[in-house]
Chain A
Amino acid sequence: MIKIVNLDKYYGEKQVLKNINLEIKEGEVVALIGPSGSGKSTLIRCIDYLEEPTSGEIYINGKNIADSGKDIDKIRQNIGMVFQHFNLFPHKTVLENITLAPVLTGRMSKEEAEDKAIELLKTMDLLDKKDSYPASLSGGQKQRIAIARSLAMEPKIMLFDEATSALDPEMVGEVLKVMKDLAESGMTMVVVTHEMAFAKEVADRVIFMAEGEIVEENTAVDLFENPQNPRTIEFLSKVL
């Protein structure tokens, strides 16, 4: 579903991704872990082409996204992205936040999009907030709305970049629950996270990155219980 080949990314002189090769299958949940500055965000943002790779290729369902030209919008419509700071549209109500993209991209009529939004809000237990503006919501509510906004496009892949890092501790759980349900529903997911318990429980595969490289990858159980690389061992000893 996602295939990354020899991906390099430089910011100026600085190389932040070094020869990344990675394949993610449909329905797989992959957790990306690693110290801050190791390139996790850059990698996940390259998948959505929010960052342009310096060299190497990224294929989404066999299509090289660098060759997509104007079709990049079409590709992105099938990839949802959830950000650390939610990035809800502050001038739109919750309902408008969710219906905007499906309607503007022509994917759904206004009625269909609203039905879909209401259904999503119900599953998130946030239907009573549908006419509120984002500013009046708690962090956990905002992030769940942001997830609903992405899901309204009925994406095939969901990317999460530290979706719970900006939340007060008591709100982390409600967002992780939504992510877990999504994973169980069979969504293909790439999750950058510092929540090791979540990665262990939900991810099929865990990738440890450091200094722009994939240092080690394995099933969640094996990587956490039996890490091989000294850098992985050191990192895990700090965070577990």
Chain B
Amino acid sequence: MEILDLFVEYKQYYLIGIKTTIMLSFFSLIIGTTLGGILCLLRLSKFRLLKAVATVYIEVFRGTPMMVQIALVYFGSYVLLGVDMNSFLAALIAVSLNSAAYVAEIIRSGIQSVDKGQWEASRSLGLSNGQTMRHIILPQAVKNILPALGNEFVTLIKETAVASTIGVLDLMHASKIVQSSSYKAFDPLVIVAAIYFSLTFTLSKLVGVLERRLSYSD
């Protein structure tokens, strides 16, 4: 098949692209989860100012396109700071900051989905707010949070395609290279779509397994 030949011919580009896309998504998820956890704590805190800062952050990052955020970090670092930032690093920063906003909401809804009675029982025993969070609420919230984080990973794999706009050598970028060197517009797109799909499909299945595992132990 012609399309398969095309894939085999440009295999090394695709492999680099897959690796970059996965790395970018994975590390963004890790950093985004860390920042998202902190953001969530701020959002749920009693201090109005901290709460407001977190809320504004979350709304702004969820309310603007990732493509714009990536460009802002990449070009902004040059214009504002005079730093010529590596495009992968710029994408990593932008995607992580973006993901943090989504993850903060994932963690918050995970925490809030735990029955209010759990808080009350724990506090009535004399445990502090922090002890309750750590020993009672979070272990239960994780059941909801982990699968949602898996889905966030799936989303990131798709959305990081915009990193190619600042020259990151991701999967989408590989596809563009193949398009221009093979003089074919359509087939490379079919290939790249198939690759993205097999990545996200596999991952979704894994998330499904995880979800079932976690709900068994109820």
Chain A interfacial positions (CB closer than 8 Å to B)? 48, 50, 73-81, 83, 85, 87-91, 100-101, 104-105, 135, 146, 149-150, 153
Contacts and interface: CB of A to CB of B under 8 A. Distances in A.
Contact of A101 (B118, B127, B140): B127
Contacts, number: 63
B218 A89 contact: no
Interface residues of B, number: 19
A81 B127 CA distance: 13
A76 B125 contact: yes
Nearest to B128: A73
Nearest to B124: A81
Q: Specify which of B121, B123, B128, B136 lies most central, judged by the most chain A CB atoms within 10 Å of its CB.
A: B121
Nearest to A89: B136
Given A83-B120, A87-B121, A100 B126 contact: no
Nearest to A77: B126
Top 5 closest pairs, chain A to chain B, by CB:
A77-B126, A87-B121, A101-B125, A81-B124, A87-B117
B115 interface: yes
Contacts of B208: none
Interface of B: 115, 117-118, 120-128, 131, 135-136, 139-140, 217-218
13 contacts: A50-B120, A50-B123, A73-B123, A73-B128, A76-B124, A81-B120, A87-B118, A89-B118, A89-B122, A90-B140, A100-B125, A100-B127, A101-B122
B121 A74 contact: no
Contacts of A80: 124-125
Contact of B135 (A73, A77, A88, A104): A104
A154 to B, nearest CB: 11
A48 B126 contact: no
Q: Specify which of A76, A87, A153 lies most central, judged by the most chain B CB atoms within 10 Å of its CB.
A: A87
A146 to B, nearest CB: 8
Contact of A87 (B115, B126, B127, B131): B115
A91 B139 contact: yes
